[in-house]
Structures are given as C-alpha cells and as structure tokens.
Amino acid sequence: MPLLQIDSLTVDYPTRNGTVRAVNDVSIALEKGQTLGIVGESGCGKSTLGLAVIRLIPPPGVLTEGSIRIDGTDVVHLPENQVRELRGKVGFIFQDPMTSLNPVKRIGDHFIEFMRAHDKKISREEALERSGKILESLGILRERINDYPHQFSGGMRQRVMIGLGLALSPKLLIADEPTTSLDVIVEAQILELMNKLKKEYNLTLILITHNIGIVAEMSDLVAVMYAGRVVELGPTDRIFENPLHPYTKGLLESAPNIVHPERSMHPIPGSPPDLISPPTGCKFHPRCPHAFEPCPLSEPALATKERQLVACHLYD
C-alpha cells in the first residue's frame, strides 16, 4: 500500500472576483522511501497541494473534492484533534526560514514545545537532550539551542526548520521550496544534508520546487504541475530523458544545461494563466508550440504513455 495516496484532489479559493481552482483533480501515489518532486511555476498549485496534505490550506481555500490517504487513513475527514496528531507524523518545511520561527522563542523552546505537544510524558530535560542531538547532526553547535532565531543565518535557520521537521521521526516529510530563499552555496549544503537525512531516516519525501535542477538531483518520481493540474508524472530519469508534455519540455529547455552549456535557453513564451478565468480546454494551449484543434476544446486526461503519465492531446 502506498504511504501517500491522493485521489482527485480539488482545492478552490473563493475570491471577490470569482473562484480560483488552485488544485484541479490531482491524483498521485507515493510509496514508502520514495522521493517525489513536484515542479512547476509560481501559482501552479504545488504549495497548496503540499499544505492540503496536512490540512493547512490557508483560508478562504476549501478542499472541494477528493481524498488524501496516509498509510490508509483518510486525512480529509479527520476531526480537529486527530489532525494535530497527524501533523506530528508528517513534517513540513516552509520556504522562508527567516520568518518561519517564532522571534521571541529560543530555538530549544521550539523543539521542546513541539515534542511535548505530541507526547505529554516527555520531560523538558529529555526534550532538550534530544533536540541538542538533532541540532548536532545538522551541523549546529549544541549550545546554540539557547539562542534566538535572529541570531542565526538563513542557512542555519533552515537547518533548524529541517531539524524541527524531523524531530518526531515522521513518516513523511514535505518540503515547500526549502532552498528558494537561500544562496546557491548554502542551497547545495542544505540539499546534501537532506540527501543524507533521507537515507538516515528512511524518509518518504515530497519536494516542492520551481527549480527543475533540484528535482533532477533529489527525486525518484517527478510530478509536473501547471495551472493546478498534474500534466506529467513519472520516474525522474524517464521524464528527463524523454519529456513528453510540451510544458515539461519547455521547462527543461529554459533551464541552463551543464552537460551541454552551448545549448541556448528558451524561456516558455507567455505567462501563467489567470486562474479566475482560465483558458478553455487544455490550460497550456495558448503557450504551447504544438497546440492543435482539440486543445482549446477539451481538457486532456492523464493517461499512460511509455511508462509515464501525461495529460496532452498529442498522445491521445
């Protein structure tokens, strides 16, 4: 049984000007120990998807349809107190480490509070001891546990966030753009760290990012999202060797290629669609170089083609 099973998930945001369908009929299965990379432009719904798994869709967003099962348990209909329990078993790392920590709480207190919220029997000293060990494994000096967030650099704060995410040995870890706010060198360090921890904790990891390079490096499975839908899904090496969806091809071509640096980068023309009044049919068709008659008429379904799943009329 897959650790995470998402079926036909749909999340809507009612706004003054209309309803935004941030996540549109998404289905993904993730086995234990696998790493899933969700990649797409800003606003494609990947963050909302990640937050939906821990039932933290920011208001006024609502989960209109679909189910999310973690280890068989349906998350969507859990009562409030069990949702909190769930959040102890699924770690979440936020994008901006500068603002994700409580400025008036010491780092140690973040850990202690977290641990004690999920296990009332644990004592302060024990929690402190365990937190110290975690911080050390992340490359942070144990004494710094008494410092405040503003005394840490961005990279170190993200390590703290990762530490918090892993503190209760979760089954699943979701990282939403974990390195986007960091500079390149620190980013590399963090990614290396995450790789190490992945093996150490035998983590099932969801990595949400707009950076296709990170996905290539870290994940087993890739899901490409556009305008709230998964347009391509499959094993990483397959997707990179043989991208089927025009958008995936576009993403790969717009990224710098270290193997073939002489190849020029082609940005995808146009801009992401307005989700209040999106294009008809396939939402990518206005920007697609291969668009033809059926594209504006109907939304292509996700179907299997050459060991990947792709939603495109080219492959119907």
Partner 1 sequence: MSLRSYIIARVLLTIPMLLLLLTMVFLITRVLPGDPVLLHFEKQAKPEAVEEFRQRLGLDKSLPEQYVDYLTGLLRGDLGRSMQDFSPVGQQIFSAFPATLELAIFGMIIAVVLGIFLGVRSSKSYNTGEDHVIRTFGITSYAIPVFFLGMVLQLVFSIGLHWFPSGGRIYPGGEPLGLNFGGFHLQTGLYTFDSLLEGNLGKFVQSLRYIFLPSLALGLALCGIFIRLTRSNMLETLRLDFVTAARARGLKERTVVYTYALRNAFLPILTMMGLQFAALLAGAILTETTFSWPGLGRYLVDRIAFRDYTAIQGAVVFFGLLVALVSLIVDILYAYLDPRIRL
Name the site residues for partner 1 (rule: CB under 8 A). 54, 56, 58, 83-88, 92, 94, 96, 99-105, 113-114, 117-118, 148, 150, 161, 164
Taking the complex as a whole, the smallest distance from the CB of residue 266 to partner 1 amounts, in Å, to 35
- The total number of residues shown for the chain amounts to 316
User: Which tokens go with 86?
Assistant: 């769930």
- Return the number of the residue (102 or 153) whose C-beta is nearest partner 1: 102
- Return the number of the residue (105 or 196) whose C-beta is nearest partner 1: 105
Give yes or no for a contact between 283 and 262, defined as CB atoms under 8 angstroms apart: no
- Return the number of the residue (103 or 267) whose C-beta is nearest partner 1: 103
Taking the complex as a whole, the smallest distance from the CB of residue 88 to partner 1 amounts, in Å, to 5
Query: What span, in angstroms and rounded, lies between the C-alpha atoms of 217 and 52?
Result: 25
- Return the number of the residue (205 or 227) whose C-beta is nearest partner 1: 205
Of the candidates 47, 21, 24, the residue with the CA atom closest to the CA atom of residue 206: 47
Query: What span, in angstroms and rounded, lies between the C-alpha atoms of 62 and 24?
Result: 12
Of the candidates 233, 247, 251, 220, the residue with the CA atom closest to the CA atom of residue 307: 233
- Return the number of the residue (13 or 94) whose C-beta is nearest partner 1: 94
Taking the complex as a whole, the smallest distance from the CB of residue 114 to partner 1 amounts, in Å, to 5
Query: What span, in angstroms and rounded, lies between the C-alpha atoms of 112 and 9?
Result: 34
Taking the complex as a whole, the smallest distance from the CB of residue 96 to partner 1 amounts, in Å, to 6
CA torsion angle for 239, 241, 244, 249 (degrees, to 10)?
Answer: 90
The torsion angles phi and psi of 166, rounded to 5 degrees, stand at -95, -5
Taking the complex as a whole, the smallest distance from the CB of residue 80 to partner 1 amounts, in Å, to 8
Query: What span, in angstroms and rounded, lies between the C-alpha atoms of 80 and 13?
Result: 21
Taking the complex as a whole, the smallest distance from the CB of residue 265 to partner 1 amounts, in Å, to 32
Taking the complex as a whole, the smallest distance from the CB of residue 110 to partner 1 amounts, in Å, to 8
Give yes or no for a contact between 160 and 112, defined as CB atoms under 8 angstroms apart: no
- Return the number of the residue (112 or 224) whose C-beta is nearest partner 1: 112
- Return the number of the residue (106 or 238) whose C-beta is nearest partner 1: 106
Taking the complex as a whole, the smallest distance from the CB of residue 160 to partner 1 amounts, in Å, to 11
Query: What span, in angstroms and rounded, lies between the C-alpha atoms of 62 and 52?
Result: 9
- Return the number of the residue (166 or 309) whose C-beta is nearest partner 1: 166
The torsion angles phi and psi of 174, rounded to 5 degrees, stand at -110, 125
Of the candidates 292, 267, 274, the residue with the CA atom closest to the CA atom of residue 283: 274
Query: What span, in angstroms and rounded, lies between the C-alpha atoms of 250 and 243?
Result: 9
Place of tokens 């396939």: 282
